[in-house]
Amino acid sequence: MAVMSYAQAACNALASAMRADPAVVALGEDIGRGGIFGQYAGLQQEFGPERVIDAPISEAAIMGAAVGMALTGMKPVVEMRVADFALCAIDEIVNQAAKNRYMFGGQGRVPLVARLPIGIWAASAAQHSQSFEAWFAHIPGLVVVAPATPADNHALLTAALACGDPVIYMEHKMLWGMTGEVDTTATAKLGKAEIVRPGHDVTLVSWSKQVHVALEAAQLAEAKGLSVEVIDLRTLWPWDRATVLGSAARTGRALVTHEAVQAAGFGAEIAATIAEELGIPVKRVGAPRIPVGYAPTLEAAAHVPAARILDALCKLKPC
């Protein structure tokens, strides 16, 4: 075990993959100096500019080059700086990377990892604070991952690099400095959730930074006599139906919470599945459908705090 930040854990996982496989490369803006969050710190010094490639400010060009690299046998890690900027490369992601294996009968594979940092970034306003995980989960051919801890950022990035298909890898912008114990030998399976807090009254499902808010809400609920089981989904596609449905069947109630806008959010997919399969009470708690404001008061309105989750939990089972 070693104590690492969320950023260091990902950097360590990528460095290990690059040492083990010369086909693994990284490309993006400012990664030669370590990336804007330090998630590539020291990599260009170790592997050189031919494998840690500083790119011009053109997300479409970066992603298009990465798709071409992947089709010729390389394993590119593509840095989009923030998920908001990946919209400039949406055709390359959705129509090229995601569909190539299907459209060419498996003759081509696109084993790339696209790092798209999501979530509200303090004082960064509407164009740097969005969560688009539902967009990408909607697209056949893409794997979607959202790690919540340093340990998972290491294990899940390692798994994403070994996947063989295009992975949309969504790290939260406000987690980069979070520290925790990381077992660099631990493995993770894409599509496998984790029960991070056991309970028996309500199942609470979340992912990314919102997992920590969910855990805070569960602790507040415990003080009111409500036992909440918290599940970190970890991978949004494929998502772990067995773990979620098994927990919800035991508790008889379920709540899904995410930082993304609630309208058409991925929580609706989980809630609908629970309702269809189990017929139990289920609720969602997501952000309002508003742009994230720059002013602290406006930004606060876009957050989904523990108090809102607690209120929803107590409506599922009075506490």
Residue closest to 143 by CA, chosen among 13, 215, 235 = 235
On average, the pLDDT of the chain sits at 97
The pLDDT-based confidence of 174 (bands split at 50, 70, 90) is very high
Give the predicted TM-score (pTM) of the model: 0.97
Domain with CATH 3.40.50.970 in the chain: 2-182
3-state secondary structure of 143: strand
Per residue in 286-297, pLDDT tens? 999 999 999 999
Tell whether domain 2-182 is in CATH 3.40.50.970.
yes
Per residue in 179-197, pLDDT tens? 999 999 999 999 999 999 9
Per residue in 63-120, pLDDT tens? 999 999 999 999 999 999 999 999 999 999 999 999 999 999 999 999 999 999 999 9
Which CATH number is 194-316 given? 3.40.50.920
Active-site residue list: 128
